């Protein structure tokens, strides 16, 4: 009888640890897996008022979007001469991951409107948010955000990243 008592004791411990592991299983929340990013922001209205329609041009999403695209190009790109006296220049882009993502999202939203998948107003609102984020994060530390943009599989995921997972603190 003593043999029976001592032999069942290790099995009881194993059963207890198995029950504890199975009851401790947590349901993973997909929102926790996708981190949100928070950046300081400044209103760009005073700068947008100085940009004329001739400078910005025309955009299918409206004049404000055209002005913000002009401001984005001005903030993110610089022209450098290759050799002094030579008219050829080299365009250097700061934060090319963010800049290229914005350009890809612009094409994606235009195609979505053309196909009828999205209304013009919705596309313009989404692209306005994307441009606000891109303009305001130029001087911030964005390594984590750039990694998330690079890891995004398609334009819809990038749009979700820019519009829903970035918080701008004004």
Evaluate whether 56 touches 69 at the Cβ level (below 8 Å).
yes
Q: At 125, is the secondary structure helix, strand, or coil?
A: helix
Whole-number Å distance between alpha carbons of 76 and 94: 5
Tokens of residue 63, six digits: 């004049």
Residue ranges per structural domain of the chain: 37-169
Whole-number Å distance between alpha carbons of 102 and 116: 21
In which band, very low, low, confident or very high, does the pLDDT at 32 lie, cut at 50, 70 and 90? very low
pLDDT, residue 107, reads 97
Residue 5 confidence (pLDDT) above 60? no
Evaluate whether 134 touches 90 at the Cβ level (below 8 Å).
no
Length of the chain in residues, anyone?
170
Q: Which residue has the higher pLDDT, 132 or 6?
A: 132
Whole-number Å distance between alpha carbons of 121 and 34: 27
Residue 57 CB neighbours (<10 A): 11
Span 52-76, pLDDT tens digits: 999 999 999 999 999 999 999 999 9
Residues in CB range of 104: below 8 A, 6 or more apart: 155, 158
């Amino acid at each position: 009888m003593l043999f029976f008592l001592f032999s069942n004791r290790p099995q009881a411990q194993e059963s207890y640890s198995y029950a504890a592991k199975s009851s401790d299983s947590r349901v993973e929340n997909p929102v926790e897996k996708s981190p949100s990013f928070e950046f300081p922001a400044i209103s760009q209205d005073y700068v947008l008022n100085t940009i004329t329609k001739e400078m910005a041009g025309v955009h299918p999403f409206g004049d404000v979007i055209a002005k913000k695209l002009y401001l984005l190009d001005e903030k993110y790109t610089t022209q450098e001469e290759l050799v002094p006296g030579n008219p050829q220049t080299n365009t250097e882009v700061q934060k090319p991951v963010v800049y290229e993502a914005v350009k890809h999202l612009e094409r994606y939203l235009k195609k979505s409107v053309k196909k009828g998948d999205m209304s013009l107003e919705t596309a313009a609102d989404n692209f306005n948010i994307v441009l606000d984020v891109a303009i305001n994060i130029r001087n911030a530390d964005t390594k984590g955000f750039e990694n998330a943009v690079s890891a995004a599989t398609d334009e819809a995921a990038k749009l979700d990243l820019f519009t829903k997972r970035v918080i701008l603190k004004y």
